[in-house]
Amino acid sequence: MSYTSLAAYDRCAYRWYLERILRLPREDPGPALAKVARPAGPVPDGLDALTRGSLAHALLEDLDFARPEPPTEQAVQQAAERIEAELTEADVQDLQQLVAAFAHSTLATRLAHAQDVRREHGFVVGLGDERAPLLNGVVDVIAFEDDGGALVVDYKSDVVAPDTDLEAYVEGDYRAQRRIYALAALGAGATDVEVSHLFLHRPTEPATAIYDRTDLPRLRAELDELVAGIAQERFVPTDRPHRGLCLTCPGRRALCLHPEELTLREDPTPVV
């Protein structure tokens, strides 16, 4: 099982069921977007969030941590050509600023000094006994530091409001991802692991969780519970619907119990 699948189940089990069991296509967000204000943040009008995130990740993958210079306009355009995307001048400047924000962050400095840095690194994590599924996936960056610990960095191009509680946001939307990354790093021999979700618009405020080997039983138990939910066909809608999660859900307009004023709202502050 891919870790992204398990993380999607954790975010909303009902959407997971509609997309992965019933194979319903995603909803066209166009009509719904016309009803709501654009999210806060400097996002160019011409570039959709998925393409923007993909390009930012591609450019960060090429960043030299030892000499972290933002990409040139030519490098940005070449990255766009590889995925057949057309960029405006504002799009190019936005992507350069996203990469520059990370290049000058504390996390980038730590990566520059780490003894072993791996980008787009694949991993496999075992859960429970031999009958449990293996989780496989790819992490943006994992670095093994001199003290025996590991640093995992996950780039997020999500546009979040200046007053968003990033710790609560990550624990609400990316908690399974956090735990899987921690299991992978600890399983690779790290004495402890720091999992940092870095929002590129707020690069000085990474949302960070630290785990050590004493956390292994708890982490496995929490993820085993999610796997058990799939096996037992527990496909209940999320209790915190919001636009970022629900906008393209195939069940949002007609199949979900939550009304549109909830599924199209800004991200609520999750309960931690």
Least confident among 44-48, 95-99, 176-180: 44-48
User: How much is the pLDDT for 32?
Assistant: 56
How many angstroms separate the CA atoms of 267 and 164, rounded? 9
Q: What average pLDDT does the chain have?
A: 87
User: Looking at per-residue confidence, does 194 or 47 come out higher?
Assistant: 194
**Does the pLDDT value for residue 151 go beyond 60?**
yes
User: Residue 228: what are its φ and ψ, rounded to 5°?
Assistant: -65, -35
Are 194 and 210 spatial neighbours (Cβ–Cβ below 8 Å)? yes
Residue 50's pLDDT band (cuts 50, 70, 90):
confident
pLDDT, mean of residues 55-75: 90
User: Looking at per-residue confidence, does 46 or 114 come out higher?
Assistant: 114
How many angstroms separate the CA atoms of 85 and 270, rounded? 34
User: Looking at per-residue confidence, does 5 or 266 come out higher?
Assistant: 5
Residue owning tokens 């050590």: 212
User: Residue 118: what are its φ and ψ, rounded to 5°?
Assistant: -125, 130
| 210 beta partners | 194
User: How much is the pLDDT for 243?
Assistant: 83
Domain boundaries of the chain, sorted by first residue: 3-37+105-263
User: How much is the pLDDT for 272?
Assistant: 38
pLDDT, mean of residues 33-50: 54
Query: How many residues appear in the chain?
Result: 272
How many angstroms separate the CA atoms of 189 and 178, rounded? 17
CATH architecture of structural domain 3-37+105-263: Alpha-Beta Complex (3.90)
Note the pTM of the prediction, 2 decimals.
0.82
Q: Is the dihedral of CA 229, 257, 270, 160 positive or negative?
A: positive
User: How much is the pLDDT for 115?
Assistant: 86
Q: Which amino acid does the sequence have at 84?
A: E
Are 192 and 212 spatial neighbours (Cβ–Cβ below 8 Å)? yes
Are 137 and 117 spatial neighbours (Cβ–Cβ below 8 Å)? no
What are the pLDDT digits (tens) for 91-136? Answer: 999 899 889 988 888 899 999 999 899 999 999 888 766 666 788 9
User: How much is the pLDDT for 125?
Assistant: 87
**Does the pLDDT value for residue 44 go beyond 70?**
no
Helix ranges (H only) for the chain are 3-11, 13-20, 30-33, 49-61, 73-82, 89-103, 106-113, 166-173, 175-187, 216-231, 243-246, 260-263
3-state secondary structure 240-263: CCCHHHHCCCCCCCCCCCCCHHHH
Q: How many CB atoms lie within 10 A of CB 218?
A: 11
